[in-house]
Amino acid sequence: MSSATSPVLDIRAVRKTYHGGVEAVRGVSLELAAGQLLVLAGASGCGKTTLLKMINRLEEPSGGSILFGGEDVSDLDGVALRRRIGWVMQGDGLFPHMSVRRNVGLIPRLAGQDPARVELRVREMLELVRLDPSEYGDRMPAELSGGQRQRVGFARALAGSPELVLMDEPFSALDPITRDALQQDFKTLQAELGFAAVMVTHDMAEALIMAQDVAVMRAGQIVQTGSPKALMSAPADDYVAGLLDTPRRQMRAIAELAG
């Protein structure tokens, strides 16, 4: 973990223009402190996933810079950088031809750890995400439920002891009950292990529940950054207010039913 004084992640005026002139990200600056959980929220196509992928160099920025632990990511080897950063994606992204054990142990194994240590790490990770290693270790991804697969996805991302975890819509493919359980478990895990995380979601309610800080994006730019509370009490503009309105209306409707 990096020191408390310098941010884990320092994004400075980053831009991304695709071939054909589409501007996906138009000058975004953000900071992420050690242990902080930041949620990038916004509608589809607002550039939040592109921004996320520029952090671990799955995409290259067209301008600006991204510092990870004080180093410009463009100076780092892409593969080495990605091994230091956990990656969780929508629909789990597990390797269907590998057992749960081999999926979770992949990064330690590629890093050259001996099999006994890898196995120890796999057990530890599966227990962290509340899957019994002896029951689930030998299963193939196809033999798991959606929620279990996403848990394995988290375990795989955390097995390399990353300083930072990036998550692209990790809960969106799950049913509401599973999603709620996983959200809570993840929050606990993140607080316990103390890694920093950036999560992308289009679901405003999820953003409010999970985040320490929310950054709302629109058309490639950040409209507002702040704690969920700050956003709720003082939305920066009508767009943010509109986004917040939906979960609020739903809550009110549900409260009326109960009362």
Partner 1 sequence: MNANLAERFAELPHLLSGHVLLSMSAILVGLAISLPLGIQAAGRPRLAGLVLNAASIIQTIPGLALLALMVPLLGGTIGYAPAFLALMLYSILPILRNTIVGLQGVDPVVREAARGIGMTPGERLWQVELPLALPVIVAGLRTAVVWVVGAATLATPVGASSLGNYIFAGLQTRNWLSVLFGCLFAAGLAIILDQMIRLLEVAARERRRGLAAGVGLSLAILITASVAPRYIAFEPAGRNSAVIAGGAADLTDETIVVGAKAFTEQYILGALLESRMEAAGARIDRRDNLGSTIAFDALRTGEIDVYIDYSGTIWATVMNRPEPIHRHAMLAEMTGWLWAEHGILALGGLGFENAYGFAMAREQAAALGVTSLADLAPLAAQMTVGGDAEVFSRPEWVMTRDLYGLGAMQTRAMDAAFMYGAVRDGQVDMISAYTTDGRIAAFDLIVLDDPAAVLPPYDAVILLSPDAAANPALVAILAELVGAIDDELMREANRQVDLDRQTPDQAAQWLAETLEAGGADR
List interacting residues with partner 1 (CB under 8 A). Answer: 56, 58, 79-87, 89-91, 93-97, 106-107, 110, 156-157, 160, 166
Q: Which is nearer to partner 1, 77 or 114 (CB)?
A: 77
Give the Cα separation of 144 and 150 in Å (integer). 10
Q: Which is nearer to partner 1, 85 or 243 (CB)?
A: 85
Q: Which is nearer to partner 1, 30 or 166 (CB)?
A: 166
CB of 140 to partner 1, least distance (A): 11
CB of 33 to partner 1, least distance (A): 23
Residue 65: count of CB within 10 angstroms of its CB: 14
Q: Which is nearer to partner 1, 88 or 208 (CB)?
A: 88
Structure tokens of 208? 């409010």
Helix axes 115-128, 146-158, angle to 10 degrees: 130
CB of 97 to partner 1, least distance (A): 5
Give the Cα separation of 100 and 153 in Å (integer). 9
Q: Which is nearer to partner 1, 18 or 95 (CB)?
A: 95
CB of 71 to partner 1, least distance (A): 16
Given a contact cutoff of 8 angstroms between Cβ atoms, the answer to whether 86 and 195 are in contact is yes
CB of 79 to partner 1, least distance (A): 5
CB of 78 to partner 1, least distance (A): 8
CB of 81 to partner 1, least distance (A): 8
Q: Which of 199, 98, 203 is nearest to 149 (CA)?
A: 98
What does the angle CA 171 – CA 172 – CA 178 come to, to the nearest 5 degrees?
50
Q: Which is nearer to partner 1, 96 or 259 (CB)?
A: 96
Q: Which is nearer to partner 1, 81 or 209 (CB)?
A: 81
